[in-house]
Amino acid sequence: MTRHERRPSRPTQADIARLAGVSQPTVSLVLGGNKAGVALSDETRQRVLDAAESLGYVPDPIARRLSRRTNNLLGLYTFTATFPTDVQHSYYPFLVGVEEEAAAQGYDLLLFTSSGAYEGATDVLNRVRLADGCLFLGRHVPEKAMGRFLDDGYPLVYIGRHDELGERLPYVGADYVSASADVVRRLAELGHRHLAYVREKDDAPASADREAGLRSAVADTGVRADVVRTDGGDVDTARLRSWLADGVTAIVAEETDTDIAVTAVESAARAGGLRCPDDFSLALLGDRVGRSPGLPALSGFAIPRREMGRAAVRMLTGLIAGEPEARIRQILGCHPLAGETVGAPPRPPEH
């Protein structure tokens, strides 16, 4: 006897029970494979199975999940659109890894985005609780909401190193520190003595790690590096030329999901008719996903995004399973990309 008007509805365990002449819990037992090992006559079992078959029974995942308190859903939260319109977006390789590993572990993926949502809305973030656990992808950490998740014991993993919550936040990061230092060392070996480092204005662990690596290599090699923070608009051809006039022979750019820094340098160079590595060397602290047609391959390093995605899923499912929280933070190595934009320093102009 239902109370709502309902669409032609699927058979339930109750229907099967009625048809087989047993109780509904018995149906659940039989169809659940009887994991508890309860004694069941073969005859009853068969009657139930036949009834289920004849009715075309399909278990309702919602009800099952309510009683079992787990739903085999992994959330993926991106603070910008998961599928941005610039097709070559750097999230994609993470998604490849996340999907692969989630499928391998029998989880489905639930996509959440705060894009378009009002700022700081914790309700938006709370939607993720629908999933058994959630992956987060973004340059920053909304500390209040994440703190609450952690307090509640809600399983979550960040993709990207984050120390905003001290040691509490589980993450899978990449070794930007060593990889960035290597880039500078390669430039030093080629003979560059004076670099400009162009980075985004805002701070994030991903920025701090790159700059730390750069600084350590600068200290090791004795090259000079001027750090320039930009929001994109303030790097133009004139500025680029003034750096070169000051003796800068190589420009190192931070890589971020928006790639503001490197894009600004490239535009300024193109506008000024400057070419890499003839006029100056250009290195990226990272890589560009899906090279833009017409642009040369940037020298830099490859971030193991796919493997990071996989590792993050493994960490998350481990947390969900309540495994001993050993490897709660993980850093994967990057590998160098030779590219086409780095070479020996240009000969200084004659005076």
Which spans of this chain sit near a second copy (rule: CB under 8 A)? Answer: 4, 6-10, 56, 58, 60-63, 65-66, 69, 71, 73, 81-85, 87-88, 92-93, 95-96, 98-100, 103-104, 108-113, 115-116, 126-127, 129-130, 148, 151-153, 289-291, 293, 306, 322
208 contributes a contact to DNA by CB under 7 A: no
From the list DNA, a second copy, none, pick the one residue 96 interacts with, judged by a Cβ distance below 5 to 8 Å according to partner type. Answer: a second copy
Q: Where are the alpha helices (DSSP H) in the chain?
A: 13-20, 24-31, 42-55, 61-68, 91-104, 122-126, 143-152, 176-190, 205-221, 237-245, 260-271, 305-320
Residue 91, CB-side half-sphere exposure with 13 Å CA sphere: 21
Nearest alpha carbon to residue 124 among 73, 157, 170, 78: 78
How large is the angle between the packed helices 42-55 and 24-31, nearest 10 degrees? Answer: 90
| Interatomic CA distance for residues 40 and 7, integer angstroms | 35
Residue choice 7, 8, 36, 324 for contact with DNA (CB under 7 A): 36
344 makes contact with DNA (CB under 7 A): no
Nearer to a second copy, 2 or 41 (CB): 2
- Nearest distance in Å: CB 124, a second copy: 10
Q: What angle do CA 168, 140, 205 make, to 5 degrees?
A: 75
Binding partner of residue 104 among DNA, a second copy, none, CB under 5 to 8 Å per kind?
A: a second copy
- The piece of 12-20, 101-109, 232-240, 242-250 that touches DNA (CB under 7 A) is 12-20
Q: Which of 7, 8, 56, 67 binds DNA (CB under 7 A)?
A: 67
CB of 216 to a second copy, least distance (A): 33
Beta carbons within 8 Å of 35's beta carbon, 6+ residues apart: none
3-state class of 272 per DSSP?
Answer: coil
Q: Does residue 244 contact residue 277 with C-beta atoms inside 8 Å?
A: no
Residues that bind DNA (CB under 7 A): 1-4, 9-10, 12-14, 21-26, 28-29, 31-32, 35-36, 38-41, 43-44, 57-60, 63-64, 66-69
